[in-house]
Amino acid sequence: MSNTVSTNLTPKEIVSFLDKYVIGQNNAKKTIAVALRNRYRRLQLNEDLQKDVMPKNILMIGSTGVGKTEIARRLSTMMRLPFVKVEASKYTEVGFVGRDVESMIRDLAANALSIVREDQNEL
């Protein structure tokens, strides 16, 4: 792939890319490919229309080892976007033993800053 991110990839091309790395999970790959394509198509609309077309978010649910993280990681590589993985099982509702959701947001922000610093150091 070139150094520029192509937002014109079709869902079929996205699935083909994922097929190189993820075995099975065909429905998941197709669903995510369509959602990714639609998200980039939304960005091509003028700002007034973008407000009316809400992006669809995806929640991947499945047993350990079925490929959820790998699909997301490979898509981030393909699109040249940062990838941050958060293990949510350690987070709890406020007042219970464990870390609260606000901690998750702080952790994500800290990870994002680390990615920016790494990118700046590579320059």
- Same-domain status, 40 and 66: yes
pLDDT at 94 over 70: no
Partners of residue 99 on adjacent β-strands:
91
Give me the pLDDT at residue 60, please: 85
CA atoms lying within 13 Å on the CB side of residue 94: 3
78 near 40, Cβ under 8 Å?
no
The DSSP letter of residue 108 is H
Contacts of 56 by beta carbon, 8 Å cutoff, 6+ apart: 35, 38, 39
- Same-domain status, 54 and 75: yes
Average pLDDT over every residue of 21-44: 90
pLDDT at 3 over 60: no
Give me the pLDDT at residue 8, please: 79
- Same-domain status, 78 and 94: no
- Same-domain status, 92 and 69: no
- Whole domain around residue 106: which residue ranges? 84-123
Report how many domains make up the chain.
2
- Same-domain status, 29 and 43: yes
- Same-domain status, 104 and 73: no
Distance of CA 67 to the CA centre of its chain: 13
For the stretch 33-68, pLDDT in tens is 998 888 888 888 888 888 788 777 788 888 888 999
Closest CA to 15 of 62, 75, 56, 65: 75
- Same-domain status, 69 and 109: no
- Same-domain status, 23 and 72: yes
Percent of the chain surpassing pLDDT 70: 85
- Same-domain status, 76 and 95: no
Q: How far apart are the first and last CA of the chain?
A: 21
- Same-domain status, 100 and 49: no
- Same-domain status, 74 and 96: no
Tokens of 14: 């996205």
Give me the pLDDT at residue 44, please: 84
For the stretch 100-116, pLDDT in tens is 777 778 877 887 787 77
Mean of the per-residue pLDDT values of the chain: 81
Average pLDDT over every residue of 20-40: 91
Closest CA to 9 of 80, 61, 60: 80
